[in-house]
Amino acid sequence: MARDTVKYVAVRDHLRDRISGMGAGEQIPAEPQLCSEYGVSRITVRRAVDDLIRAGVLVREQGRGTFVTEPDYTEEIRETFAGSVMGFYRQQATLGREVTTKVLRNHVTRNPEAAEALALNPADEVIEIERLRYIGGTLHQHVMTYLRASTYPAVLAHDFSHGSLFEFLEKEYGVHLARNDLLVRLDYANAHLAHALRVQEGDAVLAIDSTVFDARDSPVAFGVATHTPAYSQMAFSMRNS
């Protein structure tokens, strides 16, 4: 049963990625073809497709097939910054939305820019986590996150497909996140980012650089979140103390 669940999730996630690069009204392959492509049973394919239909990204038309739906942008799904360090996952989950993550990479590397943001030497090792974030099955953002490799080694063994990185750091290491410095900017998609977000290379995208600090004002994480063009709204709430 567990193996069947893993298969269906893998098929669903791969289909979701394919769909994000298709236009509204395009037809996906019929179930027999999908079974052949993925090497799985018809039940597994049907379960994966049904999930995407429930998520609103596909529609099944009797006698015709299954088609990509027109994106529904009537609900404004945006990241809000309002004086607390919460993180995207917890913020959206608190609002009752289904947040899922596809982890592309979680490894140790060297990145001078990230090392500088984390108050490390340029040659010091950092953990790099590359993720795609979805809400209700729809891709919203591509995220690169960096942490000190020597300080948070348990991050490498954790599965961040579900759950919050910040919550993990709080529970595993007792980290109290106290401050988040943000830089919102316009960027242009390189080949890698264009492929991840299903946009054209060179397209303008909204990027947010984030440096999170603990209660001792020591940098914990540095990240860059790049949003798909359809979900490039940010909301800021400011109050007088």
Q: Give residue-wise pLDDT tens across range 44-87.
A: 999 889 878 876 778 888 888 999 886 554 445 555 555 566 67
Quick check: is 179 in a domain? Answer: yes
Give yes or no: residues 116 and 173 share one domain: yes
- 61 & 7 share domain: yes
Residue 2 has pLDDT above 50, yes or no: no
Check pLDDT > 60 for residue 241.
no
**Do 113 and 192 have their domain in common?**
yes
Whether the predicted pLDDT of 233 surpasses 80: no
Domain carrying residue 58: 2-68
User: Same domain, yes or no, for 117 and 203?
Assistant: yes
Domain count, the chain: 2
pLDDT over 90 percentage in the chain: 49
pTM value > 0.75: no
Do residue 168 and residue 107 come from a single domain? yes
68 phi, psi to nearest 5 deg: -75, 135
- 166 domain-assigned: yes
185 & 217 share domain: yes
As a whole number of angstroms, the distance between CA 144 and CA 155 comes to 14
Query: Pairing state of beta strands 177-188 and 234-236?
Result: unpaired
Of 13, 47, 68, the domain-final residue: 68
Long-range Cβ contact pairs of 159-163 (< 8 A, separation 24 or more):
159/103, 160/101, 160/103, 160/106, 160/129, 160/131, 161/100, 161/101, 161/102, 161/103, 162/100, 162/101, 163/89
